[in-house]
Every structure is written in structure tokens, then in C-alpha cells.
Amino acid sequence: MDRNKENEERRDGQLHTEAPASGEKLLEVKDLRVSFFTPAGEVKAVGGISYELNYGEVMGIVGESGSGKSQEAYSIIGLLQSPGKVVGGSIHFEGRDVLAFNKDQMTQFRGSEVAMIFQNPMTCLNPVYTVGNQLVEALKAHDKKISKADAEKRAMEMLELVGINNVEKRMKQYPHEFSGGMRQRVMIAMGLICHPKLLIADEPTTALDVTIQAQILELMKDLQKKTQMGIIFITHNLGVVAEICDKVSVMYAGKIVEQGKVDDIFYRTGHPYTMGLLRSMPRVDAESHERLIPIEGTPVDMLNPPEGCPFAPRCEHCMKICLQKMPPYVELGEGHRAACWLRVQDELKKQREEGAQNG
Amino acid sequence: MANRKKKPVIGSLQPDVDSMLDWNTLTNDDFAPASSEEKADFIQQRKSVSYWSDAWRRLRKNVVAMVALGVIVLLILFAFVGPMLVPYGYEQRNLGAENLYPHHYTLEEQEQYRQATSTLDPQEAVEQARAEAEAKGEKLTSREEALIRAKAKTGGEYAGMSEEEVYAALGIHSHPFGYSNEELERIANGEKVFPHVFGTDKLGRDIMVRTMYGTRVSMTIGLAAAFIVLIIGSLYGSISGYFGGKVDVVMQRIVDVIYSVPEVLVILLISTSMSPHITQFISDHQGNALAEFMRTIGPNLIAMFIAFGLLYWVSLSRIIRGQILQLKQQEYVTAARALGASGGRIIRRHLLPNCIGQIVVTTCLQIPSAIFLESFMSYLGVGVSAPLTSLGSMCRDALSGFTTYTYRLIIPAVIISVMILAFNLFGDGLRDALDPRLKK
Amino acid sequence: MAKYILKRVVMAIITVLIVSCVTFLLMMSVPGSPFASEKALTPQQQATLDAKYGFDKPLPIQMVNYLKNALHGDLGESLKMQKGRPVAEIIADMFPISAKIGVIALAWAVVVGILLGCLAAYYRGKWVDSLLRVVCTLGISMPGFVVASFLLILFCSPVGPELLKSFELTAIFNPDLGAKAYFMPCFALGLYPMCYTARLTRSSMLDAINQEYIKTARAKGLKGGKIIFKHALRNALIPVITYLGPLVAFTLCGGFVVESVFSIPGLGRYLVQSITNRDYFVIMGTTIFLATFVVLMNLVVDIIYKLVDPRIDLTKGE
């Protein structure tokens, strides 16, 4: 017991050493555009999104499937698969231009500075290699000098850190001998083994049982506090966002329709789509007669994105202008903005009233 | 979007003054609620494309597959229309036209050649003549000497050269297609003679016609085999999958047994043991239409079809069985059943759309593999039997003289390869086009 | 594991048994006596011969006797081609040559095929891939005798280039020439399996490359080569291994043609000859032997497959 505690402290120390102070800018994404060039035409999966992430911050990216949230994350880590391509914008990581990296720099960058964990832990581990092998390999990819024994020791420490017992035995087992939750823990251990500064988690809890979900979220929160790394948390579950994130970007049809701090999003919602998401989310504190309201309709065809607001056809507040022009962002508070004509209308009203008062 | 003059600096969290100014041009009307019709108009849905037209679009874009399809069509024309255009039969022996190359020299050129090669040194000619005269006496040894001397000098500068080399040295190029000298004379007399495009074999049979018939045999066998496989495979697979349980276990064990025995052995065995029976049947039923038909295609070929029917459906039956088993577990099938849908309807509406692609591809790729096997068997002499011919047996016949008559080996070998290649490439293209996994 | 192997062995034995019975019955169903084509025999001679070979007994008893003898390695005697010589002895004499050529052909085919398949998958969509695709499709479209014919034309005919002729390969197999003698047969025999393996490896590599664990490996920052050769290849090889069984069978049967083309005194050529000569005991014995061999190889491949793929739980039997 004592030894365990000692270990933990030592590990914590180790993890802390590389993490700079919280609050400094870690990642800056500007007007990022990603397109897929399919035989049928160009699909604009990500249509110009921007955000910033600081050390120690957890940002959620929320949106339904096909909204481009995963593709956006893949372009940060250089995993975008053909026919996908970054067609515009910039990504700066600690001031360095990620999009300008050459192949070797990108390979080195992946895993060591930014790690990614994926949705389905069942298929993300290679079935024909032991868990230990795959962990050690991640370490060795970025530290050529590390000895096998040291690497294995680190791997075992990492497994213990993510709450796996009996690590000696577990190291020698194959992925199919692990349960889903355990595999996701292994994935997290694998992501964190090189102490990345940024962790991208692509729906890491979606494929898991609800109880396991809570455990994994707890674990990630815990690790995040210890390491001060930034996390981009991709999900379609606002409940998860409330649990873990500091700020949120809501994506719809390849665009960020609203972004802000968690409280802003939940309590000062600026966009009807966010509102729809909130209403379709079950809540413990809901009144008994309150119903879950689904968002009607299906997303627009990304192959021919219409002019105007992509959410318009599904929006209950849809106005004529919505069908003609994409709304601009309206500042709703510090760091809270939304792209919706309703907010523009509010803003105009305010301005005109002010104008009337002044004039 | 397009009519917006200035792009707002997205990403900046500062209020965007320019676009705010723009807003002032907006009227209250712009903020009127949109009607549901307007909303409906707004959605420019992609027109939905059916499975087949989508697959066809992809297939058409695949240049390789389309070229392969073109080659297949050409080969079909070659095999089925060709023999009507050529005035020779595949068994017809053209007397005087044996062993023709697929090229010829005109009569004048041949004369030139003869003159060139028979030109002897005059001195030698005299010597030879003297020797001949002496030979009428008794001096055998001197005659032999003279002959040897004469032989040594024969051909003069062309000594030791092959026919082609001599022609080349004379500056004569051969002309395409083979003609016998007799035919060349007939042409000279103003008659029209159809050329032996690929030359003739040692019996004077036109090789092009024989290749046409060989191709026809291969094509027929390929298509027939595919058909047999399709029928038996679908039936076996559906029965096995539909009944499941013990029936399925037994049927799958049978498949396992068949799967693990090399089919060539089985075909050899069947054709060996069946052909006496079939021969017997044919001779017992003289005049019977079926017997006559069997006589034409020959006992070995029948044995081969039997073997296809017995063995080759295994993979197709596995695909169909797998699909049916999968379908049986799916809720919508249970639902369809509960709604009173008949088995036939379920198969039409649910089963076929799910595995038609795989069935088409497997069946299509069956054709080249059947052609492959037929040529293999014919080459070994246990396939198509004389008088019917096949590309495989033509290769076999050509092997013994391949150093002299190389073209007889090359022509059928190339055609069979091109045919199988075209079917394989087309099958591959079809798979790419029909595979839903590749659908975007 | 033991249970699994036992099950497979039982299946294999049943298969061999079925094949043997069917072979026997088919051969015995041939009308007329096996001696029929020889010079006319007196009824007495016929009876003696029938008694000698047991043809006078009812068919089921003949079959049981034959199978019993086969189990002891007695496959009967050649009745025509090498009259009186035991079939088992002929097989023991001829199979090693066939096996040697088959093993060499298979070895180069599998090794080169896997390498080319990886190469094509690695350069997918590039010209290397297209070239290999064309070459391999061509390779699986040429029957063995066509490949052999082209080799003969290139190396041994006046049409072939001088350079190739300088290797002095002979059209007729001559074991005294050593490696030279084996080049053409092994190439002709191995080309199809090589191309098939390459195509299979390519497609199963591409399958593997699209798996999520490859994404994980990339996210870990592994180098391209390591991802291909460590993570994708091992998984991609599993379906390739399952194909090894049919590949052995194919090579064995392809040997019939190649042995015929190059006049190699192997078992395949002998079997074909015995078919043309209707030497029934040789056909029967050789067929049963070859089928047993293939079934055995399938069994071995199946077991290897289960060993390579850790996902399959061997304790449960299936």
C-alpha cells in the first residue's frame, strides 16, 4: 500500500515536470477547412472553424455524426485519410505550424506531443499483439534509447495509473482478453505513455456501458489534473461535456455554430441547434412531465451545402434571411458567440434602441 | 455567401464591425418567419441513385474493365461470327496448304529465292556435271568427292543461312497471311482466295478457324459452367441456410469434404470412369438427339460439366448460405414474416439486394476459372476430344514442333491468356463497382 | 486445442475414406475388365486374372479388401504401364521429384507473392501498384502450360533472344543440370500461386490498413514501414495462410501439366499417362495418395492458422 502511494507520487512528479503552467496558449486553430474529394464532388466536411485551447483546458466539440468533428481532429494530428485534405486555414501548436510539418516531423509529433484515443476500444488495439507489446512500442517510437526493461516498467506503471490491476499478467495478454472498459483504459495508457501536451479523445466513452463511461470520465479528469495537458473531447453527448469540459464548441454541418464556456452553453444558450441538443438530452433534474424533444429532420447534404444557415431547414425559428445568408458570429458574452440570425436580430434591436435613445 | 463583400474574420472574438454595418441594410422583412415550403425548397437533396445505375456509373468509369469488356465482345464475335466469314472448316484439310506460316512470299519472290540459293559457281557446276557424267561410269569415290565439293559450295554467299535470313539478305519482306503456292497461282489467275491468316497446321487445317472454334468451346464452357454453378450454388446455399440446424451441419460437412479434395483429381477421375459409360450410351442410342449431342461435345467435356456441377458451386453456396443465416437473425425479416410476407417475397426484397453483387461477381469470375480448367484438361489430353478442338489441345499439338512452328504455340496460348485476362479484369471491375463497401 | 485437432483429424480421416470409396467405386464401374484392351484372353485366363486380383468377389468385399490393403500401404499393382510393379513403389519412386519441384515452386511463390503484395499495398494507387496489378492479373490468367510454352519459346526456340538462349536451358528435364533444370518448371508452376498470393496479400493488406488499430498505430507516431510490416502484415497474413491449403492442391495439380511439358518423370505426368493407358490400379492408388496428401496439408494449414490468430479460443474446440 505504502509502496503504491510512493509510486504514485513519483509518477505524478514525473508527469508534472513536462507540463507548463496552465493558462498558456497550447493550440490555435484558425479558419480550418477540410474537404473530401469524392468521385461525386467535393464534400466540405469542415467549413472554416476556429478555436483556441490553453494548457490544462478541456474543450468539448459537440455535434452529430457527420458534422465534421472527427475530421477536424484528425487534421490536427495528421491522420486525415485520402481523399480528405486540409484546404485552408492554419493549425498552430505551441506556436509551430502543424500543417507545415514534413512527414518525419509529423510522425515525431504524433504520439509524443499530441495523442489520440478513439471511439471503439474493441477494434483500436491490434488483435495479434499483446497489450504490453503495443504499449512498449508507443514508448520506443519516441525514445529510441530506452531499454526494454525500462520501457516495460514504464508501461506497467502507466497501466497501474489507469487503474488496471495485476499488470504483470495483463501486459502479456492479448486485447481480446480485456473487457471494453479495460481496453479503453489501455488506450488511454497508450495515449499518455509519452506525456503528450494535448490529448484528443474521439468519443472515447460512446462504445462503453454507462457505468464504465463514468469511470473512464473520472479517470480522464483525474489524469488531466495531474498532467495539465490540454484535452479536446469529441462527443455528441452533452452530458459528458457537462461532466468534463471547460469550454464547448458546437458543430453543425462542418461549422462551429456556437462556442463558449460550459455554463454559457448550458444556461445562456445562443443557438437553436444547441437548444435542440439540450432538449434532447435526458436530465436527472427534469420535471416529471417534461419530454425529450428530438431535433426533426436530417442534416443537409454536404456535397451541395446550400447558401444560408445549414440548420435552417430544421430550425423552428427559421426566418427568410436564414435561407439566404450564412449568419455571422455574434458576441454574446466573454468568449461566448453564436452564428444565428436570431442573435443578429437581437443585436440590431439593441443597436436601434440605443440609436433611438442617443438620437 | 457569394454576395457578401467582406468576409468576417472568423476566429477573432472581437465584434465584427464591417458585418455589423452590413446588418443595417437588413429589413424587417428579412426577419419574417420562413414558410415550410421555403424551407423545403432550401434543401437541395442529391437525387438518389439506384444501386444498379450507381454500379454502372462506376463500372463505366473503370477504363480497364471497359477495355476488358470490349475484348470479351471482340472474342465473342471472333468465336461465334468468325467461322461464318471464313470459308474453311475446322476439320477441313486444305491439300497442298500444309504447314503454312502466317506469312507468305509471292511466287516471284520464291523464284528469286530459288535462283539465289541454287546459284552455283560456274566452275563448280561444270565440275558437278563432269562428276555426274563420270558417275555414269564407275568412279564412285570421285563422284562422292565431287558431290561433297559441290555441296560445300552450294548456296554460295547464302550458305548456312536460314530461309528468312536469305530473304532478308535479298531485301524481300514477307507479306502477311499464309497462302499455298497453288493458292497464289489461283490468285494470279484472278481468283479470290481467302488467306490463311494464322497459317495452317501439318494436316493443312486453317489455324485461324481452329482457334475460332477453340475459343468458342472455351467461351461456351465458361458460360455454361458459370450457369451450372449459379443454379446449384444458389439452391444448395439457400437450402442449407434456410433449414439450418442438422440439415445445415450435414450439408456443410459435405461442402468441407468437397472443398478439401483437389478438383482436378476429381475431374480426371470422373472423366476416366464416365467416358466409357458415355461412349456406351452413345453407341446404344444411335440416332437419338441427346446421344448425337453428346457425341459432338464428347465424353470428356460431359465429365467436365458433371465435375463443375459437383464441385465448383462450393464458394457460391457458402456466400448465399452466409447471407441467409445473417438475414434470418435480422429483425426486419422477422417483421416481414409477421406481416405475412411470403418466402419468395423475402428473398426478392431482402436477400437478393444484399448479396446480388457478390453473386454476380462470383459467377462472373467463375467463367475464367472454368476456361482455365478446360484448357488445362485439354492440354493434358483429357478434355475436349477430337474432332472438336480447343485452345488447350492446340497448344499440346503444337508443342512437339515449337522450335520450327513457334506461331502454332504462340497463337492459341496468347488467345487463351487474353481471354482469361479479359474475364478476370472485367470481373475485378465488376467487383469494384458492385462492392457496397467502396460506395461513398 | 487437443479437442480441435482431434475434430479436424476425424474430419480428415472421413474425407479420405469417402474419397477412397468414391474413387474405387468409380473405377470399378468402368464397363469391361481392366484387362480388356489387351490381347483377347480366353475365359480361363480371364478367370485366373480375376481371381488373382480379387475381381471375382462381390464389389463391397472388393472395396473393403482394397481399403484394408491400402491401409497397409498396398495399393495394388500396375496392370499395364509397369506390369506387376506395386503402385506404392511407383509412387515412392516418383513422388519425390514432383514434391521437390512443388516445394521450390511454392516457396518462391509465397515469399515473392507476399513481398509484392505488401509493395502494392504500400504504394496503393501509385504506378507500382498498377504495374503489379497488371502483372499479377496476367499471371493468374495464364494456365501453366501457357507459361511453360512461353518459357520454352524464350529460352529454347530460335525466336528467343540470344541472351536467354545463352543459359542453355533444355526443353526436356535433365536432373544432371542441377539448378538449371529446375528453373523453368519451378517458374512455370509457381507463377500462378505467386500472382494469386500477391493479389490476396494486397487486398488483405488494404483491409488491414483500413482497420482502426492502424489508426491507433499512426496516432502513436510509428513510422510507415513499421505500421505496414508489424501491424498490418501480421493481420493480413492470416487470410493468406488459409489460402495455403488450396495452394498446395493447386501446385500439385499444376504439376501434372508442367511435368508433361518438360517430360519430368514425376507422379503427375505418370498419373496422366496412366489415365490415357487406363491403368486402373495406378489411377486409383495415385488419386487416393494425392487426395490424402492434400487433405493432410489442409489439416496442417488449419492448425497453423489457429496458432497464428490469438483471437480464436482454442479451449472451446471451434
Which ipTM did the prediction report? 0.83
In this structure, is residue A10 part of a structural domain? no
Q: Which of B10, B30, B58 sits opposite A319 (nearest CB)?
A: B30
Which candidate, B207, B204, B161, places its Cα nearest to that of B180?
A: B204
A160, pLDDT greater than 70: yes
Residues B213, B90 contacting (CB under 8 angstroms): yes
Residues B271, B382 contacting (CB under 8 angstroms): yes
Compare A57 and B164 and report the one with higher pLDDT.
A57
Output the pLDDT for position C314: 41
Same domain, A211 and A298: no
A327, pLDDT greater than 50: yes
| C63 φ/ψ angles, rounded to the nearest 5 degrees | -65, -45
In one letter, which amino acid is B399? L
C190, pLDDT greater than 80: yes
B149, pLDDT greater than 60: no
Q: Domain residues of chain C, as ranges?
A: 87-308
Average pLDDT over residues C165-176: 74
C113, pLDDT greater than 90: yes
Output the pLDDT for position C198: 92
Output the pLDDT for position A23: 65
Question: Which cell is B439 given?
Answer: 460506395
Residues of C in contact with A79 (CB under 8 A): 215, 218-219
Same domain, A202 and A56: yes
| B204 φ/ψ angles, rounded to the nearest 5 degrees | 80, 20
pLDDT in tens, B404-424: 788 888 888 899 999 999 999
Q: Give residue A291's pLDDT band: very low, low, confident or very high (50, 70, 90).
A: low
Output the pLDDT for position A13: 39
Q: Which of B26, B40, B42 sits opposite A321 (nearest CB)?
A: B26
Output the pLDDT for position B159: 61
Output the pLDDT for position B293: 78
Residues of B in contact with A329 (CB under 8 A): 8, 10, 16
CB pairs under 8 A between B and C: 131
Output the pLDDT for position C73: 77
How many Å apart are CA B251 and CA B254, to the nearest integer? Answer: 5
Annotation: CATH topology of C87-308:
MetI-like fold (1.10.3720)
Q: Which helix (H) or strand (E) holds A333?
A: strand A329-333
Q: Give residue B158's pLDDT band: very low, low, confident or very high (50, 70, 90).
A: low
Q: Which structural domain range is residue A246 located in?
A: 23-253
Same domain, A231 and A271: no
Output the pLDDT for position B9: 42
In this structure, is residue A233 part of a structural domain? yes
Output the pLDDT for position B436: 54
Q: What strands lie across the sheet with A25-38, from one edge to the other?
A: A41-54, A25-38, A84-93, A96-97
Output the pLDDT for position C260: 86
Which candidate, A180, A266, A263, places its Cα nearest to that of A216?
A: A180
In this structure, is residue B26 part of a structural domain? no
Which of C126, C218, C220 should be substituted to probe chain A, the one whose Cβ sees the most A Cβ atoms within 10 Å? C220
In this structure, is residue B5 part of a structural domain? no
pLDDT in tens, C291-305: 888 888 888 888 888
Same domain, B298 and B266: yes
pLDDT in tens, B234-283: 888 888 887 777 888 888 888 877 777 777 888 888 877 777 777 777 77
Same domain, B415 and B335: yes
Compare B140 and B208 and report the one with higher pLDDT.
B208
In this structure, is residue A153 part of a structural domain? yes
In this structure, is residue B277 part of a structural domain? yes
Output the pLDDT for position C116: 92
How far does CA B397 lie from the centroid of its chain? 20
Percent of chain B with pLDDT over 70: 74
In this structure, is residue A88 part of a structural domain? yes
Output the pLDDT for position A16: 42
Give the β-pairing of A336-339 and A198-202.
unpaired
Same domain, A231 and A336: no
How many Å apart are CA A74 and CA A72, to the nearest integer? Answer: 6
Q: Give residue C112's pLDDT band: very low, low, confident or very high (50, 70, 90).
A: very high
Cβ separation A107–C222 shorter than 8 A: yes
Cβ separation B273–C29 shorter than 8 A: yes
Same domain, B384 and B259: yes
pLDDT in tens, C72-84: 777 777 777 777 7
Output the pLDDT for position B8: 41
Residues of C in contact with B221 (CB under 8 A): none
Cβ separation B44–A304 shorter than 8 A: yes
Chain mean pLDDT for chain A: 81
Output the pLDDT for position C65: 81
Cβ separation A312–B15 shorter than 8 A: no
CA torsion angle A353 A354 B1 B6 (round to 10): 160
Q: What angle separates helix C144-156 from helix C179-209, to the nearest 10 degrees?
A: 130
Residues A253, A310 contacting (CB under 8 angstroms): yes
- Tally the domains of chain A: 2
Compare B219 and C278 and report the one with higher pLDDT.
B219
- Tally the domains of chain B: 2
Domain boundary at B151, B174, B197, which? B174
pLDDT in tens, B288-299: 777 777 777 777
Give the β-pairing of A84-93 and A96-97.
antiparallel
Output the pLDDT for position B156: 53
Output the pLDDT for position B352: 67
Output the pLDDT for position B130: 58
DSSP B373-408: HHHHHHHHTSSS-TTS--HHHHHHHHHTTTTT-HHH
C105, pLDDT greater than 70: yes
Cβ separation B380–C245 shorter than 8 A: no
**How many alpha carbons lie under 13 Å from residue A299 in its C-beta half-sphere?**
17
Output the pLDDT for position C195: 92
How many Å apart are CA B299 and CA B311, to the nearest integer? Answer: 18
Q: Which of B8, B31, B45 sits opposite A321 (nearest CB)?
A: B31
pLDDT in tens, A55-67: 888 999 988 877 8
Kindly report the CATH number assigned to the domain that includes residue B72. 1.10.3720.10
Same domain, B250 and B354: yes
Q: Which of A31, A321, A323 sits opposite B11 (nearest CB)?
A: A31
CB pairs under 8 A between A and C: 79
B82, pLDDT greater than 90: no
Cβ separation C261–B417 shorter than 8 A: no
Percent of chain B with pLDDT over 90: 4
Q: What angle separates helix B299-311 from helix B289-297, to the nearest 10 degrees?
A: 90
Q: Which of A301, A318, A348 sits opposite B46 (nearest CB)?
A: A301
Our CA-based measurement puts residue C144 at a distance from the nearest CA of chain B, in whole angstroms, of 8
| A249 φ/ψ angles, rounded to the nearest 5 degrees | -115, 125
Q: Which structural domain range is residue B156 located in?
A: 107-174
